[in-house]
Amino acid sequence: MKSKKKGKNLWRDHYTDKAQKAGFPARSVFKLEEMQKRWKILRPGQKVLDLGCAPGSWLKYASQIVGDSGRVIGLDLKPMDQPDKPNAQFIQGDAFELTQEFLDEIGRDFDVVLSDMAPNTTGIKNVDALKSAALCESALAAAVTVLKPGGSFVCKIFQGEGFDAFIKDVKKYFTKHKIFKPESTRKQSREIYVVGWSKKGGSHVRT
């Protein structure tokens, strides 16, 4: 029992240390990197919205890929320092309270919307899954509003209640989707990523 626990900690430290050495504040960067290596979701010159961006690993990674001709806007409930790259910006806010004015202000010309948002967990699987699904539905509503037709969506969700309904909704707005569990995700974690490609034409705000 003891050695199993030690093994788990060593495994977690490997990704945390690796992220720190590479200059990223969180190990979550490797999950996005895995998806990027597989599908080249991010490209130079793109405009990207990163929901739940703190402490800023995905924001930094995405800003490196989109480069000087691109732009990344990150949003999180928690405060965070402004990124040191001129093409990246942090806005503190709640994804459940994105107003039409705010979405109009940031623009409706995004190429990619990322959401790595996670709720505060209770430890009760169904409750946590429903809280995660609610965050995902709000990320999807933002994505269908601000993405250009043809845009892509990456969203973390906890498997469980609300998952099937969320996939059904993703299918309504995206031509193709995949469900992906990165290698760098903790094995015991119920989190999984949904990637939607090629947003269908038009923009719909779910009410």
Binding-site residues for S-adenosyl-L-methionine, please? 56, 58, 76, 94, 116
The single residue among 39, 64, 67, 77 that binds ligand SAM, judged by CB under 6 A, is 77
Is the Cβ of residue 28 or residue 87 nearer to ligand SAM in the bound state? Answer: 28
H or E element: which one contains 131?
Answer: helix 125-146
Contact call for residues 196 and 153 (beta carbons, < 8 A): yes
The residue from 48, 49, 53, 147 that contacts ligand SAM (CB under 6 A) is 53
Helix, strand, coil percentages in the chain from 3-state DSSP, rounded to 5: 40, 25, 35
Evaluate whether 136 touches 161 at the Cβ level (below 8 Å): no
| Binding map of ligand SAM across residues 86-115, x = CB under 6 A, - = no contact | --------xxx-------------------
Active site residue 5: no
Determine the interface stretch with ligand SAM among 35-43, 72-80, 169-177, 195-203 (rule: CB under 6 A): 72-80
Instruction: Tell me the per-residue interface mask from 151 to 180 with ligand SAM, x by CB under 6 A, - otherwise.
Output: ------------------------------
Q: Are 194 and 20 in contact (CB under 8 A)?
A: no
Q: Which residues contact 2 (CB under 8 A, 6 or more apart)?
A: none
- Other C-beta atoms closer than 10 Å to the C-beta of 128 total 19
Residues interacting with ligand SAM, by CB under 6 A?
Answer: 25-26, 28-29, 52-58, 75-78, 94-96, 116-119, 135
Residue numbers annotated as active site: 156
